[in-house]
Structure 1
């Protein structure tokens, strides 16, 4: 045995130097590939994003501080400072659209969160045909918004719509200023609440079982367990759902434009519709750029405040 070990040691020491050098070169090549893998994959994506999103953003930011018309040269606008923003905030239609957008976003996000949470809790239980319901849940969110809006526009038709046939009325859902925004909001909630439900369902299924079992041992009822155990553990998923839905609802456009076009009597003219009309109907791109940046700034403020409030709550 001892002689065999000496022979193995001798073979190891007598290994050719070229083989050691080749192995060290292979290791160096592998390390070099690992170092350049991330730049090679990230840099092209970053450059493409800058070209697709960065240049239009910079150009729109410049336009928001310029006096420029559609028949002028591309960079011939003159600097006018905050005149475009002043025109925005002195426009009664913009102010009403801003308040309408804030209220619409608050109501739809709250409804989507509550409905999505209820559906997620239901689908997290062991009920018959649970796989069928989970599959059917994603159907509304998989439909193209324009197709969904056109379908609901037909369903809400005052003369031949299925909704009025079921209710036995001839309500003009999309022609009444008091009902149009409610109808549009209901369609939006119907299509986007499943996204919240799927996100929260994934969170519920990833939560640890030990805290719930400990609460049951301590004698907590289902409501107390949900309020003091499940809901705090689910808070990170709720934050993500609220942030995402707030961003998308604040710039909601497709279903509103298809179903009502911002009417009747500007009852559904949100900021996105106002910006679209200023851009592509009035061709006032400077005013539309200012409105777009106001929308972006408001969403950023909300996101930052919401994240800060959530972190303070976690620290407390």
Structure 2
């Protein structure tokens, strides 16, 4: 009889522990899972102007998207945008983290200032950039002595928005890389110096291998954030000029709230979810193979 008592208490403790998770599951179910299920359901319908399902069309919305030149262009634009955001955000964040890893006057002040973009709303800083990149009164043209329409020229618009997003992401990337660099054992560098290793070899054989996990995490987070960019594109270019900055998220907004094609927008949302999911799984599998 006494031997069964601990097992009963253990089972009771386990059940009670899971009961504390019920409020969290309810919140996730109400605000995350249920809207996602409704999005999948709505993607199979034509909707009215209120977004209510009117006519069941099955996978027609998906077929219309994949045969649409506008959607194909948004996929291409999104791919370019994500690559540019990764390039700018990770390069700026890593370079400044490496700089702050060495001692120089004003280090703490610089670190605090540089990390501030992570606390600034993208819509707020986009308003500032909208003035800075203005062709007539913008400070960038004045400093460079140029007359470039940074936001009105298809050649420069996507690059400009990607640069802004990369800079916004660089603040949190800077913190991630700084944390990784601070955890590297300094005795490794000292031993390498004794063996005659120069700065490049230390970077190649000590710094980069030690940061592999941090780099992987930063790449995944930045890709997901880049795919979800909206505020800066809405304020700066509205998907233009033409469709040169019409990324998938903005195309979803345009179909839903400008054209009132909620079923088509829902189908785009599902496709975006699948794309991000496939990329994430691929990157985790690739990282797992590299570690083996």
- TM-score (norm: length of structure 1): 0.84
* Cα drift, residue 169 of structure 1: 3.2
Question: 1:174–1:183: 8 Å Cα contact kept in structure 2?
Answer: yes
Flag the structure with more relative contact order, 1 or 2, with Cα contacts below 8 A and sequence separation at least 6: 2
Figure out how many residues of one structure are paired with residues of the other and give that number.
287
Is structure 2 residue 118 aligned with structure 1 residue 141?
Answer: yes
Query: Which one of the candidate residues 273, 277, 283 is aligned to 1:300?
Result: 277
Q: Which deviates the most, 56-65 or 186-195?
A: 186-195
Change (3 A) 1:139 1:71: closer
Q: Show the counterpart of 1:50.
A: 29
Unaligned residue ranges in structure 2 (runs of 5+): 1-5
CA distance in 2, matches of 1:143, 1:277: 25
Q: Show the counterpart of 1:20.
A: none
Unaligned residue ranges in structure 1 (runs of 5+): 1-26
Change (3 A) 1:40 1:203: farther
CA distance in 1, matches of 2:270, 2:173: 27
CA distance in 2, matches of 1:50, 1:230: 42
SS in structure 2 opposite 1:239?
A: helix
Change (3 A) 1:41 1:135: farther
Larger-Rg structure? 1
Q: Show the counterpart of 1:66.
A: 45
Query: Which one of the candidate residues 190, 203, 218 is aligned to 2:167?
Result: 190
Is structure 2 residue 232 aligned with structure 1 residue 255?
Answer: yes
Q: Which deviates the most, 144-153 or 168-177?
A: 168-177
* Cα drift, residue 307 of structure 1: 1.0
CA distance in 2, matches of 1:263, 1:143: 24
Matches within 5 A, 1:73-152: 74=52, 77-78=55-56, 80-152=57-129
The CA RMSD over aligned residues, in Å, is 2.2
SS in structure 1 opposite 2:270?
A: helix
CA distance in 1, matches of 2:257, 2:72: 20
SS in structure 2 opposite 1:172?
A: coil
SS in structure 1 opposite 2:281?
A: helix
CA distance in 2, matches of 1:197, 1:215: 26
CA distance in 2, matches of 1:258, 1:95: 23
* Cα drift, residue 163 of structure 1: 1.7
Matches within 5 A, 1:153-172: 153-172=130-149
Is structure 2 residue 207 aligned with structure 1 residue 230?
Answer: yes
The C-alpha deviation readout for 1:260-291, integer Å capped at 9, x for no partner, is 10111111111111110001011111110111
Change (3 A) 1:33 1:152: farther
Q: Show the counterpart of 1:287.
A: 264
CA distance in 2, matches of 1:219, 1:254: 50
- TM-score (norm: length of structure 2): 0.91
CA distance in 1, matches of 2:50, 2:186: 65
CA distance in 1, matches of 2:234, 2:125: 12
Change (3 A) 1:242 1:217: same
Question: 1:212–1:230: 8 Å Cα contact kept in structure 2?
Answer: no
Question: 1:111–1:189: 8 Å Cα contact kept in structure 2?
Answer: yes
SS in structure 1 opposite 2:37?
A: helix
Q: Which deviates the most, 221-230 or 270-279?
A: 221-230
CA distance in 2, matches of 1:203, 1:31: 40
CA distance in 1, matches of 2:12, 2:233: 50
* Cα drift, residue 34 of structure 1: 6.5
